Amino acid sequence: MSRTSSKAVPAEASGVPVQPEIRSLSGTGSLSIAGVAEQAGVSVATVSRVLNGHENVRPATRDKVLAAVDASGYRVNELARNLRTAESRLLLTMVPDVGNPFYAEIVRGIDSVARQHGYFMLLCDTGADPGRERSYFDLLRRRRADGAICLDPATIQQALGEASHALPWVACCEFDPSVRVPYVGIDNYRAAGDAVRHLLARGHRRVGLINSDVDYLYARQRQQGYLDALTDAGIAPDPAWRMNLNSLDYEAGASAAVTLTQQTHAPSAIFAVSDTLAIGVIHGLRSVGKRVPDDVAVVGFDDISLAAQIDPPLTTIAQPMRELGETAARLLLQRLANPLANVPGVLLPHRLVIRGSA
Amino acid sequence: MSRTSSKAVPAEASGVPVQPEIRSLSGTGSLSIAGVAEQAGVSVATVSRVLNGHENVRPATRDKVLAAVDASGYRVNELARNLRTAESRLLLTMVPDVGNPFYAEIVRGIDSVARQHGYFMLLCDTGADPGRERSYFDLLRRRRADGAICLDPATIQQALGEASHALPWVACCEFDPSVRVPYVGIDNYRAAGDAVRHLLARGHRRVGLINSDVDYLYARQRQQGYLDALTDAGIAPDPAWRMNLNSLDYEAGASAAVTLTQQTHAPSAIFAVSDTLAIGVIHGLRSVGKRVPDDVAVVGFDDISLAAQIDPPLTTIAQPMRELGETAARLLLQRLANPLANVPGVLLPHRLVIRGSA
DNA sequence: GTGAAAGCGCTAACAT
DNA sequence: ATGTTAGCGCTTTCAC
């Protein structure tokens, strides 16, 4: 022992085994509830009661315990508590891409209500990869998380649903009606229609659609909304006006825009299903010398904070991102509190925000 | 009991307490390791050995166990494992703002390395609030996380450092040299100098600085780099050219730009310490009819993916965001594996990326 | 190679 | 109001 210079451990130095010292060094160096109980001269049950704010504790006793906790700097070992109470107090959130500002804002909404209810959020970026998704989902079975919020494509949810409709999870933004699971989202069909009708009202007849992968329910719904809005206006949608991308990155939107406008009878307006895509579209258009909105009008989707900052400011469909996240978290918490009650699906309102791009 | 229709529980129906059935339904309905052991006809120790890939198990026995696991759909309860092994396998990441694309990319780097090593990431948005920060940090003491990566301001880190230089955490981007903790970052002083020297080379003499809060170490270092670069070029920096903001939002940059260029002898170039700020600056400039880079040149910092997409494309200092995150995670893991070894601080290279804005 | 049994630190009956 | 005690489900000596 090299601790001979220490002057506060005479008993230890003399070879006598001393309970308190030993106890306080147990495990990984931190004190356990038993140590606090000892220091306070009470039982572990009483310490536990004080720690958990139970009623049946005399004020004097409570003070003794609190003093001991304070003096020792004790912190409850939540690993033990979690095992005992059989809950991890963690909420799993699965996102296709944390880097997308749209998802980032939803995640914040989730996080804020989770924390408000004593839960922490385990954030997992799935990259929309079914394999990764599935392995994350397994965290529920392994009890590492109490529940999950899934923002991934409906196709994936379907697979999850089969395997585990019994597990506590809810769908956010994406949801497959055939999977019986609580969800929150918006009316993508109507929203897309609103976007297209705005373009129509501006006099456009050839309206392009830059869509994401049809794995996403929203992609299918928005496409249908786009198609029907056009048809309703007496326009026969040309398949050449449509593109499906497997990315929402700026670059993807940029090159799609170039392709789309390079053809004869090219669209005079483009509806992109994401603001990030739309921003890329504007960039791509500019790179081939087209002016927005004069040569080509552009409308996006989401209304991320960036939308108002670019040139020209983006006309877009606003989604209540924060509320989407908050609602998802609340639905999940509700499900956790009462596993039997069947939680309803909820649709939040969207809004057309008209700026300079269309 | 309403389970009379079940035909597989005769003993239970006859009132005899039966271990297996009761066990397999214990807890929250899922099977425990004891149940698997029973089904496989081995002891729990053996099941545990198989599950953890230990050597000393006969192939035949291993197969029996694996079969039982498969048949029962058993999943290990990590709450129990965590208590037993005294580790949570969670890494805490504290970020001032997940919504900022710069941090989002770093977070991805952390996550990828963490997962690669069997850890999950607990992401916490602190909003740069010392109170929230401190409470998150407490998760380490409560054993909910094994280690932490802090991207928050140095002032906060200082407070944390005092309270807990013994706790396993590392600093990323922000670090206070006086706090003895492993860190990874870039040379902000030189990077800022590079940005300013680029502007100088373009013939600018009046260079403005839009900085964030001086709570941030990077803000102080970049300001010094800016000041010294100017002075070295024989220019006396005018305090009226500088602004400090407490936000990195687009809007903050926009209004700052307006203020800065509204004065007489306004800067002909602006160095903003973040791309988000710089994008706001360009927007703000445009709103008062100034052209970039003709009337005012702009250089940003970070090189988020958006930087290349806006009009004009942003000239900026690129930070290796992904590597920053990956390195931080590796440093932390290193520290966890060997608590005694003193991990060094590491500085990663930056790079001036010249595009259209300056 | 396999099993029995001791705990990890906590909460919650159940006593008193 | 407080104490005693039995586990939660797992890993890990220590026997055999």
Bigger pLDDT: B210 or A155?
A: B210
Chain B residue with minimum CA distance to A311 = B311
The stretch A162-178 carries a mean pLDDT of 82
Protein-covered nucleotides on strand D (Cβ within 7 A): 1-5, 7-13
Cα separation of B41 and B61, whole Å?
Answer: 9
3 state DSSP class of B206 = coil
pLDDT of B151 reads 94
Tell me which residues of chain B, numbers 76 to 95, contact chain A at a CB-CB cutoff of 8 Å. 76-80, 82-83, 86, 88, 90
CATH of B188-318, picked from 2.60.40.420, 3.40.50.2300, 3.20.20.70, 2.40.110.10, is 3.40.50.2300
Inter-chain residue contact B120 with A139, CB threshold 8 Å: yes
Best of B25, B78, B283 to disrupt the A interface by mutation (most A CBs within 10 Å)? B78
The answer, yes or no, to whether residue A156 has pLDDT greater than 90, is no
A137 CA vs C10 C1’ separation (Å): 27
Which residues in B41-188 belong to E strands, given as ranges? Answer: 90-95, 120-125, 147-150, 169-172, 183-186
Interface residue B144 vs chain A (CB under 8 A): yes
Instruction: For residue A45, give the nucleotide whose C1' atom is nearest its CA.
Output: D3
pLDDT tens-digit profile, chain B (358 residues): 333 233 322 333 333 333 333 333 333 467 999 999 999 999 999 999 999 999 899 999 999 999 999 999 999 999 999 999 999 999 999 999 988 999 999 999 999 999 999 999 999 999 888 888 888 989 999 999 999 999 988 666 666 666 667 889 999 999 887 788 899 999 999 999 999 999 999 999 999 999 999 988 899 999 999 999 999 999 999 999 999 999 999 999 999 999 999 999 999 999 999 999 999 999 999 999 999 999 999 999 999 999 998 999 999 999 999 999 999 999 999 999 988 888 789 999 999 999 999 9
Nearest CA-CA distance, residue B230 and chain A, Å = 30
Residue whose token pair is 């990195």: B248
Q: Of the candidates A79, A120, A144, which has its C-beta nearest B83's C-beta? A: A79
Inter-chain residue contact B141 with A78, CB threshold 8 Å: no
Start-end of CATH 3.40.50.2300 domains in chain B:
88-186+322-348, 188-318
Q: Cα dist. B28→A146, A302, B79 in Å?
A: 12, 40, 13
Q: Which residues of A touch B283 (CB under 8 A)?
A: 309-311
Peptide bond into B10 cis (omega under 30): no
Interface residue B274 vs chain A (CB under 8 A): no
CATH (residue range B88-186+322-348)? 3.40.50.2300
Nearest CA-CA distance, residue A231 and chain B, Å = 34
Protein-covered nucleotides on strand C (Cβ within 7 A): 1-5, 7-13
Nearest CA-CA distance, residue B126 and chain A, Å = 11
Q: Report CA Rg, chain B.
A: 28
Chain B residue with minimum CA distance to A166 = B29
Cα separation of A351 and A70, whole Å?
Answer: 52
CB B306 within 8 A of CB A279: yes
The CA-CA-CA angle for residues A35, A40, A43, to 5°, reads 70
pLDDT of B160 reads 64
Inter-chain residue contact B86 with A80, CB threshold 8 Å: no
Instruction: For residue B143, give the nucleotide whose C1' atom is nearest its CA.
Output: C9
pLDDT of B7 reads 30
pLDDT of A7 reads 29
3 state DSSP class of B292 = coil
Q: How confident is the model at residue A127 (pLDDT cuts 50, 70, 90)?
A: confident
pLDDT of A22 reads 30
pLDDT of A130 reads 82
Q: How confident is the model at residue A27 (pLDDT cuts 50, 70, 90)?
A: very low
The per-residue DSSP string of A46-97 comes to HHHHHHTT-S-S-HHHHHHHHHHHHHHT----HHHHHHHHT---EEEEEES-
Q: Write down the pTM of the prediction.
A: 0.88
A33-76 placed in CATH 3.40.50.1220: no
Tell me which residues of chain B, numbers 286 to 345, contact chain A at a CB-CB cutoff of 8 Å. 286, 305-306, 308-311
pLDDT of A51 reads 97
Start-end of CATH 1.10.260.40 domains in chain B:
33-76
pLDDT one-digit tens code per residue, A109-118: 999 999 999 9
pLDDT of B60 reads 95
Q: Which of A162-166, A287-291, B274-278 has the lowest mean pLDDT?
A: A162-166
The stretch A261-283 carries a mean pLDDT of 96
Nearest CA-CA distance, residue B233 and chain A, Å = 34
- The mean of the pLDDT values for chain A is 88
Chain B residue with minimum CA distance to A99 = B104
pLDDT of A19 reads 32
Q: Of the candidates A80, A99, A311, which has its C-beta nearest B105's C-beta? A: A99
The stretch A142-166 carries a mean pLDDT of 79
Q: How confident is the model at residue A55 (pLDDT cuts 50, 70, 90)?
A: confident
pLDDT one-digit tens code per residue, A212-263: 999 888 999 999 999 999 999 999 999 999 999 999 999 999 999 999 999 9
**How many beta-carbon pairs below 8 A join chains A and B?**
129
Helix axes A33-40, A59-72, angle to 10 degrees: 120
For nucleotide C12, the protein residue with its alpha carbon nearest to C1' is A45
Tell me which residues of chain A, numbers 249 to 268, contact chain B at a CB-CB cutoff of 8 Å. 249-251, 254
Interface residue A144 vs chain B (CB under 8 A): yes
Cα separation of B302 and B348, whole Å?
Answer: 13
Q: Of the candidates A86, A104, A279, which has its C-beta nearest B28's C-beta? A: A86
Break chain A down into helix, strand, coil percent, rounded to 5: 45, 15, 40
